[in-house]
Amino acid sequence: MIKKHQPKILVVDDQPINIKLLQRKLERQGMEVYVACNGRECLSTVAETKPDLILLDIMMPEMDGIETCQRLKSNPETETIPIIFITAKASKEGKLEGLDAGAVDYITKPIDLDETLARVRTQLRLQEMFRENLQLQIRLGDARKAAAVGAITQGIAHNLNNLLGVVVGYLDLIKNGHDSPDMVKHSVGLMDNAINRMVNIIRQLGTIANNERLELTALPVSDLIDSSIERFRSEYDVPAIVTIESSLDSDTNISANAETFEIILGKLLINAWESYNKDTPDDSRSIHLKASINRERGPAMLQLEVTDHGTGIAPEVSDTLFEPFITTKTSVGRGMGLTIARHTLRNLEGELHLKEKPEGGVTATIKHPL
């Protein structure tokens, strides 16, 4: 049998009679009651007992209720404890002062015990709803993670089956007598490409499955950008020309993992390259990379914007572009790049988003902590 939570209430008042009356009323309702006679005692008792709610008198010696409330609200460990002020101040100004200090409710003296009990119960119910909502959010987050893993698993199975089909199909061609040297060479090349794609999918799955923090090192941004572009050209075997616009100082560093940085930027560069129609000449596939520091919200971030003038994002995938294996490309085994890139950046407390340009093309923006 699950034991019901017994609410813990702290009553703080310099008048013993008020403490006694409130303590008796609350204990009869099954609540655990602690008492303090002034603000300093209140702070020490809160640290020891972690109450669910505090009934706090305003007019007290040594430390009044306003200062006590402000101290509690400035402490991350106690800021969420609801405080109900009890005071003889019945004026609007007095109530506003208490509410501004962080109280959730206000009771005036002489104390009406039934009204006080009703207000205490209301705040306890709100606290319970808050805890349930928090647990629900945690469970929802777990469910979303499970759904994401399910989607990834399903996508992997689908893509590996397709790629295995390519390998098996060309093996059958060779076994069935289509064994001219050129045919065999062509078939082996296609099978090798399919196998490499299967290996790449499995590696990408490992990136998502392994949530350990990456080893980060202070690295010059300009060197990282140059090495990423060179790796992109070499790995994808494309003669891409990438124009760079930078407002960074030459000695700007970021704390990054070089391998991960190059892979993420490389994925955005190949997406930009492949956004153009197949018949677009190589020297007409413009890719522009802009580097800057973003200080708009929160800590400063390195911001990289990769812009192309390609065909843009197809309407049928615009809402699901970051889901696993969603792609506008026709080749088998694609579609994990953006999923991996965003997942990795978010683990680093960064971000990745895409935006279509009115004149055509897409800008992919990376935000990476410095």
Q: Which CATH superfamily is domain 8-111 in?
A: Response regulator (3.40.50.2300)
For the chain, how far is it from start to end, CA to CA, in angstroms? 52
Q: Using the 8-state DSSP alphabet, how is residue 259 labeled?
A: H
d(CA 74, CA 80) in angstroms, rounded, equals: 10
Residue length, the chain? Answer: 370
Bridge partners (DSSP) listed for residue 11: 35, 55
R_g (Cα) of the chain, nearest Å? 32
Please state the three-class secondary structure of 41-100 as a single string. HHHHHHHHHCCCEEEEECCCCCCCHHHHHHHHHCCCCCCCCCEEEEECCCCHHHHHHHHH
In the block, residue with structure tokens 């509690």: 72
Q: Does domain 212-370 bear CATH number 3.40.50.2300?
A: no
Annotate 188-248 with DSSP letters as a single string.
Answer: HHHHHHHHHHHHHHHHHHHHHH--PPPP-EEEEHHHHHHHHHHHHHHHHT----EEEEE-S
317, 273 Cβ separation under 8 angstroms = no
50: left (phi over 0), alpha (psi -120 to 50) or beta: left
The domain segmentation of the chain, as residue ranges, is: 8-111, 212-370
Cα→Cα distances 78→10, 137, 308, Å: 13, 22, 51
Which of 201, 194, 192 minimizes the C-alpha distance to 163? 194
What are the structure tokens assigned to 359, written together?
């004149």
d(CA 282, CA 365) in angstroms, rounded, equals: 23
CB atoms within 10 A of CB 175: 9
Q: Can you give the pLDDT at residue 205? A: 58
Q: Can you give the pLDDT at residue 67? A: 92
In the block, residue with structure tokens 């969420």: 80
CB atoms within 10 A of CB 273: 21
d(CA 33, CA 53) in angstroms, rounded, equals: 10
Q: Can you give the pLDDT at residue 36? A: 93
d(CA 198, CA 146) in angstroms, rounded, equals: 23
Q: Can you give the pLDDT at residue 325? A: 45
pLDDT per residue rounded down to tens, the chain (370 residues): 445 678 999 999 989 999 999 999 999 999 999 999 999 999 999 999 999 999 999 888 888 899 999 999 888 889 889 999 988 766 677 677 778 888 888 888 888 888 889 889 888 888 888 777 777 777 766 665 565 555 555 555 656 666 677 677 777 766 666 566 777 777 777 777 777 666 666 665 555 555 555 678 888 999 999 998 988 888 777 888 899 998 988 888 988 888 778 888 888 888 888 888 888 888 889 999 999 998 877 788 899 999 998 887 655 444 445 554 444 443 333 445 577 677 778 877 888 888 888 888 889 898 998 8
Largest CA distance in the chain: 104
Q: Can you give the pLDDT at residue 216? A: 82
What burial class does residue 246 get, using C-beta atoms within 10 Å of its C-beta: 0-12 exposed, 13-18 middle, 19+ buried? middle
Chain centroid offset of residue 329 CA:
28
224, 289 Cβ separation under 8 angstroms = no
